[in-house]
Amino acid sequence: MRFKFRPRTRVRRNSYEINMTEGPILKKLVQFSVPLALSGILQLLFNAADIVVVGRFAGSHSLAAVGSTGALNNLIVNLFIGLSIGVNVLVARYYGAGQGKDLYETVHTAILTAAICGVALIFLGIGLSRPLLEMMDTPADVIDHSVLYMRIIFAGMPAGMIYNFGAAVLRAVGDTQRPLYFLLIAGVINVVLNLFFVIVLHMGVAGVATATVISQCVSAVLVVLCLMRSEGVYRLNLKELKIHKSKLIEMTRIGIPAGIQGSMFSISNVLIQSTINSFGAIAMAGSTAGGNIEGFVWTAMDAFTQATQSFVGQNYGAKKMDRVRKIMWSCMGLVTGVGLVLGVSAYLAARPLLGIYSSDPAVIEYGRARMLLVCVPYFTCGAMGIFVGGMRGLGSSLTPMINTVFSVCVLRVVWVYTVFALWSTWEVLFLSYPVTWVVASVIGGICYMVIKKKAVARLTPQGARSQ
């Protein structure tokens, strides 16, 4: 039966959702962020399982092959994934404002868009994998494995896109628990299949890639079933999948700059990866292992970036700007504390952690040297993310994109061709990360204050109400 709308009324909430516009802010931020961080960690475990199994049972060259594709995969995927950020912001805003019909149309536009983007990514990934890896100077003894891994991964992109867009809808209404359950199920399947395909069937990189694709399909099916069975306005009806033009335009207005931002990050990381490749396969393996550990720290911090985006979005929709200010301060304190504790702890435990990925002492030392310059100051990256989330929550995606492109991506490229060209050491290469994060955080804070001032001005005195 078709859903009936009563515009401008409050949407129905269920037990999984969080009311972000009322009640204690800090408690709800933690309640929202912890499942989200665990979900991100489970996603990283997909890659970690790939890397550990390949490194232990297929050798350092296969480990380098899997690790060297990460930045390139992100370069191709991030532009499309950015649209899911647009979905999250729109759903949060409509949910906070009680605009049920707009929310319903956004959900159906989002899921159909995800499927279309996923199919497009199959052709892009399969067609561009070898030429782009060659442009990155991927070593000859690694490239064939890297191409095979990438092509299998991209064959599963429709499932990955549907999961990301569906999870963005659930996060926007405060439901971070069920995506965690879905990824837990998919993660167990991924680990079991990794071991079976690589150890029993001796499939190497093809085995870990196939296991990842199957697990993504499982998580996509689960999130679609969840949306179809939801009692709220965001319930999904497959028969009513349709591209609503106005929602797609607004989604792309927010999502495309976010996607470009992610892609530009990836371009700079592709350049960094190309430079890492020049140090040889052992250095590549060390960087892969170190980067994978760093990913867990980043994921914990990124949960607060996404919390900022959703909480600010809902409260902006509800016109509660005093509450937005408190959300920003709370998120900044949380991300700084978590980033410092986890970043420093990861570095102090670097040797045993890196030993999980490889027993080669040279690989471990390369990874440890990288982690000193990335993990320890990682909290500055978290601060940058809070300002980005705040600006997006207020409906501005272009400004954080421009800041990130120039303060991080362009500056990082300039660093490689100037500072690193003069002092071509492993340490100087990775020093580019904290330097660019600090610059982006300072400029991002200034930009956020300007955007917030304009957002407040758009609200009428009668419409804007405090907590």
Q: Which pLDDT does position 375 carry in this prediction?
A: 92
pLDDT in tens, the chain (467 residues): 344 444 444 445 566 777 888 888 888 898 888 888 887 777 777 666 667 777 766 666 666 667 667 666 776 777 777 788 888 888 888 887 778 888 889 999 999 999 998 999 898 888 887 887 777 667 777 778 788 888 898 889 899 999 989 998 998 888 888 888 898 898 889 888 888 888 888 777 888 889 889 999 999 999 999 999 887 778 888 888 888 988 899 888 888 888 887 777 767 777 787 788 878 878 888 888 888 888 889 989 998 988 998 899 888 888 888 898 899 999 999 999 999 999 999 999 999 988 887 788 888 889 899 999 999 999 999 999 999 999 988 888 889 889 988 888 889 889 989 998 898 888 899 899 999 999 999 999 999 999 998 888 877 654 444 44
Let me know how long the chain is.
Answer: 467
Q: Which amino acid does the sequence have at 331?
A: C
Query: Quick one: tokens of 352?
Result: 């045993």
Query: Are 153 and 125 spatial neighbours (Cβ–Cβ below 8 Å)?
Result: yes
The predicted structure's pLDDT at residue 464: 47
Cα–Cα distance, 344 to 379 (Å, whole number): 10
The pLDDT, as a whole number, for residue 460 is: 60
Cα gap 79→397, rounded to integer Å: 13
pTM, rounded to two decimals: 0.76
- How confident is the model at residue 338, as a pLDDT? 93
pLDDT at residue 53, as a whole number: 75
- Euclidean distance between CA atoms 448 and 278, whole angstroms: 39
The number of CA neighbours under 13 Å toward the Cβ of 465 is 7
pLDDT score, position 6: 42
Domain boundary assignment for the chain: 25-457
Enumerate residues 6+ apart whose C-beta is below 8 A from 236: 107, 108, 111, 224, 227, 228, 230
**Concatenated DSSP letters of 398-465:** HHHHHHHIIIIIIHHHHHHHTHHHHS--HHHHHHHHHHHHHHHHHHHHHHHHHHHHHHHHHS-TTT--
What pLDDT, on the 0 to 100 scale, is given for residue 380?
A: 94
